[in-house]
Amino acid sequence: MQPAAERFWTTLDQHAGIALSEGPRQLSYAELRHEVAARASHLQRLGVQRVALALDNGLEWALWDLALLRAGLVCVPLPAFFSAAQQEHVLQHAGIDCLIGTASPLSERCGFQQTANGLLQRQPDAAAPVPAGTLKITYTSGTTGQPKGVCLDAEAQLAVAESLRRASLPCDVRQHLCVLPLATLLENIAGLYAPLLAGARVELRQLAEIGFSGAAGFELQRLLATLQASQPHSLILLPQLLLALVSAAEQGVPLPASLRFIAVGGGRVAPQLLERAERLGLSVFEGYGLSECASVVCLNTPDARRIGTVGRPLAHVELRLADDGEVLVRGPHMLGYLGEPPQAGEWLATGDLGHFEDGFLILHGRKKHQFVTAYGRNVNPEWVEAELVQQAPIAQAWLHGEALAQNAAVLVPRRGDCSDAELQTAVERVNAGLPDYARVHHWLRAAEPFTASNGLVTANGRLRRNALFNHYQSAINALPS
């Protein structure tokens, strides 16, 4: 067992009370340790090496993940929001020899067979060797091409978890509700490992019960009902989920008074949204991280919070800026991408641009997404897009301005009956707070929403900018200059 994993289990040995719950089923910390040890021994006896988890959120996902950590075996979460082609790529690329989940056409196509022990196994083709120490391979959906496998050891994952435990100490979080898929590294580490290190209770619900359906569907009423039933102390939310909760609360929908620590990340959060949350009395803390650094590297905390920033670096990392403003991180991070040369050097380039104010990191956007207008001004479109989707009539927005004298946006209305006049008013409100070079000078109404099925966003909702440009290039070229 890796030293970080040994320290993790030593800490859990000291905790009592309820560790995990799913509906009426509960496991105490003592029962958790027993269950995990039994599953770890079972996996070791089978002789499997690389195990994929194809399970819904729940006790089973958590127990198998923890068992793989204890057994020192490679765990590969298989996100349900990946397309079938992406899931097949993960299974083949990672050389999975054991699949924990229900038999399906995908498992049959990949050669898995049900065994007497209840697990799906196969003898995979020759697979790329994993870097020494790898215990988890998390696949990033990316914006183009197939997902890449980020190889992490126990040290990186648990260093993040320990930093998050310390950061949330002033809020005395005793019960966390997992809202995001556990197959995402953020919920896996911040929503499972960190609360367990704190001796808290982790409540698990199937994703449909939370309100998720398919790759992009979400039903807010289910989440609101779950929050009232659970009364959690902490949640982890994506910006669009926070927007939905804040909008509901502003309309008089009660949110649990129990909420003490709402972490939000995974995309840019408009400061206005955080200010709206603050006026409602919600304790929301924006953070920033990336899979290559085992998730979170910066976080606003109860002791150090500044709206408009992603917080200060956590205790386990150092950050600095390259000459061009790119954020560099030193500390526990990935061992490398599966099938590619190992990660070299102490400092990892994030691809994100930013600057510091009093130790707080302010992000500008992705280095590769930045465009340069015809007047030589650099614009990070994510900044403007985040402001646009804060407007009630606008559900999605894409901004383009490369080599143009005037920027153009493609807007997806939130309602089918939304008029052009409503969209124009929303754009004018956003433009009022922007410098001229970043404003939306022209806009187009999208023919259809941006979805993974039409190739305009990734499976987890990130804009496919090249695809959007190709799709709307003719219409943009026809706009007045």
Tens of pLDDT, residues 299-317: 999 999 999 999 999 999 9
Same domain, 442 and 317: no
Joined tokens for residue 48: 């499997």
Residues 243 and 282 grouped into a single domain: yes
Sequence length of the chain is: 481
Tell me the torsion sign for CA atoms 357, 361, 362, 363. Answer: positive
Whether residue 204 sits in one domain with residue 295: yes
Q: What's the CA angle centered on 312, arms 309 and 317, to 5 degrees?
A: 135
Q: How many distinct structural domains can be found in the chain?
A: 2
Domain containing 299 equals: 1-366
Q: What is the C-alpha to C-alpha distance for residues 136 and 148, in angstroms, rounded to an integer?
A: 13
Do 58 and 94 sit in the same domain of this protein?
A: yes
pLDDT digits (tens, 9 = 90+) for 183-212: 999 999 999 999 999 999 999 999 999 998
Q: How confident is the model at residue 144 (pLDDT cuts 50, 70, 90)?
A: very low
Asked if residue 361 and residue 377 are part of one domain, the reply reads: no
Kindly state whether residues 7 and 41 are assigned to the same domain.
Answer: yes
Least confident of 140-144, 341-345, 350-354, 473-477: 140-144
Q: Are 238 and 267 contacting, i.e. CB atoms less than 8 angstroms apart?
A: yes
DSSP 145: S
Say whether pLDDT at 380 is over 90: no
| 241-254: pLDDT as tens digits | 998 999 999 999 99
Q: Are residues 389 and 347 in the same domain?
A: no
- DSSP conformation letters of 196-257: HHTT-EEE---HHHHTEETTTEE-HHHHHHHHHHH--SEEEE-HHHHHHHHHHHHTT----T
Residues 342 and 378 in one domain: no
Are residues 320 and 422 located together in one domain of the fold? Answer: no
Q: How confident is the model at residue 481 (pLDDT cuts 50, 70, 90)?
A: low
Q: Which of 317, 346, 366 is the last residue of a domain?
A: 366
Using the predicted structure, report yes or no on whether residue 143 has a pLDDT greater than 80. no
pTM of the complete model: 0.83
Domain shared by 421 and 333, yes or no: no
Does residue 481 or residue 113 have the better pLDDT?
Answer: 113
Q: Distance (Å, rounded) from C-alpha 321 to C-alpha 414?
A: 38
Buried b (16+ CB within 10 A) or exposed e, 378-406: ebbbbbbbbbbbbbebbbbbbbbbeebeb
pLDDT tens sequence across 459-473: 767 899 989 999 999
Q: Could you tell me the sign of the dihedral formed by the alpha carbons of 119, 193, 76, 300, in that order? A: positive
303, 333, 366 - which closes a domain: 366
353 with 375, same domain: the answer is no
The answer, yes or no, to whether residue 128 has pLDDT greater than 60, is yes
Examine the fold and report which residue of 332, 366, 400 is the final residue of a domain before the chain moves on: 366
In this structure, the answer to whether residues 17 and 75 fall within a common structural domain is yes
CATH number of the domain within which 53 lies:
3.40.50.12780
